[in-house]
Each structure stands twice: as C-alpha cells, then as structure tokens.
Structure 1
C-alpha cells in the first residue's frame, strides 16, 4: 500500500478513493467486506460524509492504517510493535492486531502474549478420504492478550486458522493466517466466519435468509452465493467455528515456503 501523505491526499475521500484504487476494490465489494451499505461508501468517497462508525471496518477491509485513512497520518513503520496500541477501533471491529509470529515450545512467551491454537483440516484415520477440522497440536500463533481484550475478545475463545484458495481474493489472500473469535457464533449479516463444512475449513461471509443460511465469497466473479436450508445445514454438518476478527496480509513471493 502506497501511503501518500496529507499534502497529497488532504481529505478522507481522497485517501479512501486512493486505497480503493490501490486494492482494486469497488464500492459494492468494499461495502460487503465492511458490513455497511454501498450508499455509505459512496457518501464517504464523494466527500458528502466525513465521518462514519464503519471507518475501522473499512480500513480493515482495505488493509490500511486507520489513522492514515481517517486523519491522514502517515504510518512511520507499518509493522511497529507500538502500532497496535495506536489503532482505535470505534465500532468494536478490529482491523489490525499487530504482527503475528509462529513459535514452538522453546520460544518463551512475553508477559503480554498468549498462544492461540491453530485449526487445520485433518484426514480421518479411517482412510475413506474424509477430513475433520481439528486443532493442530504442533503449531500455535502468538498474540498480544492486551490487544485481544481491547478488541472485546476473550483470549480463551481466540484461535487461528490458515486460509486456502482465492474465494476471498483480494481481501483475504491464499495462505493468510486468520484470527477467530470462537465466542461469537451468532450470525451478523455481512461478517466473515470460519466454518466447519463436513470436515472442510471454509471462510465465508454469512447472511441469514428465510428458512436458511447464505454463504458468500468476496470473489463473487468466480464464486457464486451458496444458499442452504436449515435441513441442508444439518445434513451437510455446517458448523460455525467463530467470527473472523483479523487476518494477515503477508504475501510472500514464494508461496511454497508456506506449504
């Protein structure tokens, strides 16, 4: 992301339009990702509105610094350890929770860190080609417990997972690490959730529809909406693991290193 300073992009509308262009995200897609209406995005991008309670969610969806988007303050170090303490989510939806780092049993945790379990798809021992979403006992991810609490997330309910595929590209990249709040399984229309779909780990926007549930991908050009009745939800064992509150933006040139 090219963070132009306030002299070059003096208004919120200027910065929003610049970020949308850099991310190649249209108003409709941004509205879906931020959980607001396209009219809200249009008012902000045209300069008709200069404030919105959705700004933190919009910044998260665009993967930009909220201080830059709202105030024009150029971040000096995108991965500074102090950065997560400067961010001020206003709607309870965090968009950046600081840098993550894989660790092993030999790596001591800092006083303010918590080790989160990592979910993955595991093949069932019966050898019938079936899988199950289970915790990977060999891997964990470190987070600041302070940051989780400030985001309203009980560290005991937090977990991580790895995204696969391009169904949510370019919002969530393939192999991105996701933060999941297992304490939030209630469906809020337009929010992103981690699902266990008959043993498959899926990341989808969820919507309630009459008599059932809609699964939506950010990449709607390639992936159509999936509608399920409540009976189909039960038959196909679709279970909500939790709401996705964070995802990494690391985009390595050699993705084989992450396999």
Structure 2
C-alpha cells in the first residue's frame, strides 16, 4: 500500500494543515498574528517564505520544520501535546537583526522616529522633529490590536524620569497621532514649547488640562487654562499606545 506523498511546497503543506484543522485564512491570520494577505500569498504560492513561520506553525499545531521544508513529521513532538487543551502557550518572538536594506516582511510597516532636537540658530531652543533616515518596524497585527492606523502612527524617544518606573528614561514610545481627544487618565505625548513630554492627561472645566506624572514624588501636577495652553505652545501629539526600553549593562560593582 502506497503512502500519501508529502506536499512538496510550502503552499501545499500550509493548505493541507489548514484543511486538517478546518481553518480559514482569516482565522489562521488572527491566531498567528499576521495579516490575511500574508496567508493568502503563502497559500497561493506568491510568497515562498515568511519570517512568521514559527507563529503560523504554532497556530496550526504542526512542526515549523515540516511546514517550512517538508522534512520530518507534520505533527509536533509528543511533549508538546501534553499541555492542557485550553492552555495558552508562551511564545517568544525571535529577535531578528535588520537594517535599512532589509526588505519589509509581508506583515510589517516602518514608522518614522521623532525626538526632541535643538533648532539651528535657536539659542538653545528645541522642537520635536523627525529623525531623517531613522525608522522602527512594527507588525500590522500589533497596530491592529491597539486600534491604530499605521498611517497615523509614529515613534519617539523620551528623556527624563517623570514617568518612571512605568516608562523609563530613554524609552521609545509609539504614538497614535490620530487620537488627540483627551480621555481622562490616558497617556499622551505632548509638545510643550519645543519639549517632548509624556503625561497622564485630564480635562478641566473651561477647556483647561491637567498634566500628571507617574513619578509624583518628584513631579507635581501641572494645570493650564486655555490662555496658558496657547502661551506655552502646548499641543497634543497623540495617544501613547506602546513603549519599550533597551536596558544598558551596568559596570560590575568593585568589591572593596
């Protein structure tokens, strides 16, 4: 009796695994955290590979080696099936090095990076400006989960400890520039007379606003009326939907 030949392409293996699980493209895309267009291109053969192979294989419950190359058995190792059916596996997304010449993945978008910069001939004055040539990559799935339009999303570099330990000095933040209407208690990025500031915002009667820091031991609340908002050139850049910090290794402590 002849055994069924193993599918020879990624598209065939992907469609076989989807059929076995009775999964549609939309359902698989949501489970794997990728766009439906990514799944469509893979199943149609228009795309021959993806950096989200591990996530797609996990969503299908198959071996990523088999899915990617056709080698080995489709099923996961026995140990992988011992977890309860309703348990949510912990997935650590692989860190992949890239630079400006690395092509974008099907489910990625580049966001411009902003920071507080000193203006030319500005006598020490600053402004929040885009850093030419610097961008950060996000997956569309991350932006969709936050309800953020990629066209309205930017990143910025923050300095200062007013939001520590929630948002550390040196953090990179993601900002939705389409959301500038204040929802009390949410975190927003502001440009305050050329300074980039991140604060909890609250509305005040008469059109004023209250700025609140997470580090309230060192930073008191600030309140501004409509005239003061204009005089201090305070404008809301957008709602902060994401932040991340790269830690720097400390020098070893010398034993005395």
Q: Same fold (TM over 0.5)?
A: yes
Q: Per-residue CA shift, 1:193-221, capped at 9, x if unaligned?
A: 01111110001000011231100000001
Query: How many pairs were matched up?
Result: 165
Q: 2:203 aligns with which of 200, 208, 216?
A: 208
1:162 aligned onto 2:175: no
Q: CA deviation at 1:109?
A: 1.1
Q: CA deviation at 1:75?
A: 6.1
In structure 2, the residue matched to 1:218 is 214
Q: CA deviation at 1:151?
A: 2.3
Larger radius of gyration: 2
Q: Which runs of 5+ in 2 are unaligned?
A: 1-85, 252-256
CA distance in 1, matches of 2:233, 2:132: 23
Q: 1:122 aligns with which of 117, 129, 136?
A: 117
Q: CA deviation at 1:176?
A: 1.2
Q: Secondary structure at the match of 2:148?
A: coil
CA distance in 1, matches of 2:234, 2:163: 19
Q: Secondary structure at the match of 2:228?
A: helix
Q: CA deviation at 1:105?
A: 2.4
CA distance in 1, matches of 2:111, 2:221: 31
In structure 2, the residue matched to 1:106 is 101
1:151 aligned onto 2:151: no
In structure 1, the residue matched to 2:232 is 236
Is the alpha carbon distance of 1:102 and 1:168 closer, same or farther for their aligned partners in structure 2, counting shifts above 3 Å? farther
Query: Relative contact order: is structure 1 or structure 2 higher (C-alpha 8 Å, sep ≥ 6)?
Result: 1
Q: Per-residue CA shift, 1:13-61, capped at 9, x if unaligned?
A: xxxxxxxxxxxxxxxxxxxxxxxxxxxxxxxxxxxxxxxxxxxxxxxxx
In structure 2, the residue matched to 1:80 is 93
TM-score (structure 2 length as normaliser): 0.60
Q: Which runs of 4+ in 1 moved over 2 A?
A: 72-77, 101-105, 249-255
Taking only aligned residues, the RMSD between alpha carbons, in angstroms, comes to: 2.3
Q: Secondary structure at the match of 1:252?
A: coil
Contact 1:198 1:237 in 2 (8 A): yes
Is the alpha carbon distance of 1:145 and 1:209 closer, same or farther for their aligned partners in structure 2, counting shifts above 3 Å? same
Q: CA deviation at 1:249?
A: 4.3
